[in-house]
Amino acid sequence: MSKNIRNRTKQRKRYNYLNFSLQNNGFFEKPFLKLFLFSLLLLFKSHVLSNKKSHPSALHEKAGIPRPEMISATAVENIQHFRKIQPSAAELVEGILAGNITALSRAITLVESTNGTHLAKATEVINACLPHASQSVRIGITGVPGVGKSTFIEAFGKFLTGLGKKVAVLAVDPSSTISHGSILGDKTRMEELVKDKNAYIRPSASGDTLGGVARKTRESITLCEACGFDTIIIETVGVGQSETAVHSMVDFFLLLKISGAGDELQGIKRGIMEMADAIVINKADGDNIKKAQFAKMEFNRALHLFPAKKSGWTPTTSTCSSITHEGIPAVWETIEKFLELTKGNNYFFEKRKEQNQYWMLETINEQLKTNFYNNPEIQKSLDSTKKAVQNDEISPFAAAQFLLEKYFKKK
Ligand SMILES: Nc1nc2c(ncn2[C@@H]2O[C@H](COP(=O)(O)OP(=O)(O)OP(=O)(O)O)[C@@H](O)[C@H]2O)c(=O)[nH]1
Ligand SMILES: [Mg+2]
């Protein structure tokens, strides 16, 4: 009983205490809370204002990290100079002739531009560069995807810069018209060459037609040569028409192959074999050496079945490994022999003249086509005429004639 009374007294005491503290809370805390919140607000405001003073806008730039010493101050200055301003044609030419890579890249971008206003400036730059194009050798390299073109160019390019040469790598890649340049991804395969100050790697131009892309690469060659590059490598994927375009802009055409399952000649286009000045079997390393040797023999036999070349050159076959670099110097020796022969019999110079004519005609064809399809009158009638042809309402030839007449009348 007495325990019960003690418990109840305890409970009452606790209740009284709680009651008292609640009452006190109500009484004391409200003004305190207000004061506390108010001072918090003041603090926050002053913080924001002081921050605003030091960061006037969201675009405020921090000082950043200092430039590492290994980066040349002159190079940075050159890049900044050319980025900031839109250099005139004369300035670009001056930069290119002085060996400035930034000026070269800008000029190539100009050449690749589809903006009509850039055309005149690009033409001016190219014309001014033409007389200064260095004595160069232009090498075309083709091969199916995965054959090792990029790896080969990395090894071969490094070998050439080791000889004191200045190497420019350009590309004609039909797939790049969609993917905007495959060498760009390939740059990872050319890790060493990318870093080499005597090498310049440019992803292939993008465009609507192979002809357009190839023409831009052809013009880029002139710019690279004027910039002092004496060895120009043009890479292309050996699937489609791009080899013909590349063959028409190089002195030496190299077909890269790998050994297969003994059926080396299967599926290889006769046209590509005919164009090749050398067939190099890549990946001749490890277990693959014997197979590569066999493939070499087979290609050699096949090449002898082709008629003799106008150049007087007998195409060669060899093996190499772009990984171990075995056989890479021999490829250059072959090219040197080719140059000696074809410069001696004048074929080298005659071929370049022929190529120049080819590119003039190609450019006319290309421009006429672009101009035709961009004509507003043609654009208006093209779709309906196409439909009429599809529905046999008009013959394809009559429809073409109808559109051409429309185009020339409006000219
Ligand atoms: N063992 C060996 N592997 C090689 C050699 N050359 C290239 N490869 C490998 O073959 C693969 C394809 O090489 P790439 O250089 O990307 O071939 P690619 O012809 O440029 O290919 P695409 O750019 O797709 O047309 C890579 O995994 C290379 O490491 C070689 O000489 N030996
Ligand atoms: Mg590649």
- Summarize pLDDT for 267-313 with one digit per residue, the tens: 667 778 888 999 999 999 999 999 999 999 989 988 888 888 999 99
Tell me which of 26-40, 135-149, 191-205 is least confident.
26-40
Helix (H, G, I), strand (E, B) or coil at 259: coil
Regarding the beta carbon of 242 and ligand 1, being less than 6 Å apart is answered no
Token readout for 394 is 């008009």
CA distance 317 to 280: 6
Name every residue whose Cβ is closer than 8 Å to that of residue 111 and which is 6 or more positions away in sequence.
122, 125, 126, 205, 216, 219, 220, 223
| pLDDT of amino acid 188 | 61
Closest to 171 (Cα-Cα) out of 146, 141, 198, 137: 141
Whether pTM exceeds 0.85: no
| pLDDT of amino acid 28 | 47
CA distance 243 to 149: 14
CA distance 154 to 194: 9
CA distance 184 to 187: 5
Q: What residue ranges do the domains of the chain occupy? A: 70-132, 133-348, 357-410
Ligand at shortest distance from the CA of 237: 1
Please state whether beta strands 199-201 and 137-143 pair in parallel, antiparallel, or not at all (unpaired). unpaired
Fold match, 133-348 / 357-410 = no
**Domain covering 357-410 in this structure, CATH number:** 1.10.287
Q: Are 280 and 254 in contact (CB under 8 A)?
A: yes
Higher pLDDT, 193 or 64: 193
Torsion of CA 342, 348, 350, 354, to 10 degrees: 130
Task: Report how far ligand 1's centroid is from the alpha carbon of 201 (Å).
Answer: 18
CB atoms within 10 A of CB 196: 18
Q: How confident is the model at residue 18 (pLDDT cuts 50, 70, 90)?
A: very low
Task: Report how far ligand 2's centroid is from the alpha carbon of 188 (Å).
Answer: 10
- Closest-CA residue, ligand 1 atom 32, reads 283
- Summarize pLDDT for 345-386 with one digit per residue, the tens: 999 999 999 999 998 998 898 888 888 998 998 999 999 999
Pocket test for ligand 1, best of 259, 322, 324 (most atoms within 8 A of CB): 322
- Summarize pLDDT for 167-183 with one digit per residue, the tens: 999 988 766 554 544 55
Token readout for 198 is 């005597």
| pLDDT of amino acid 244 | 82
Q: Say if residue 345 is exposed, middle or buried (CB neighbours under 10 Å; 0-12, 13-18, 19+).
A: middle
- Summarize pLDDT for 233-256 with one digit per residue, the tens: 999 876 667 788 888 899 999 999
Q: 174: number of CA atoms within 13 Å, CB side? A: 16
Helix (H, G, I), strand (E, B) or coil at 252: strand
Tell me which of 61-70, 144-153, 234-243, 359-368 is least confident.
61-70
- Summarize pLDDT for 113-131 with one digit per residue, the tens: 877 778 889 989 999 999 8
Residue with tokens 């971008």: 109
Q: How confident is the model at residue 4 (pLDDT cuts 50, 70, 90)?
A: low
| pLDDT of amino acid 17 | 47
CA distance 306 to 60: 69
Tell the CATH topology of 133-348.
Answer: Rossmann fold (3.40.50)
Higher pLDDT, 330 or 69: 330
Ligand at shortest distance from the CA of 257: 1
| pLDDT of amino acid 22 | 43
CA distance 301 to 181: 36
Q: At what angle do helices 210-226 and 89-97 cross, to 10 degrees?
A: 60
| pLDDT of amino acid 259 | 86
Q: Which of 83-97, 330-344, 354-368 has the highest mean pLDDT?
A: 330-344
Residue with tokens 């100079």: 81
| pLDDT of amino acid 402 | 94
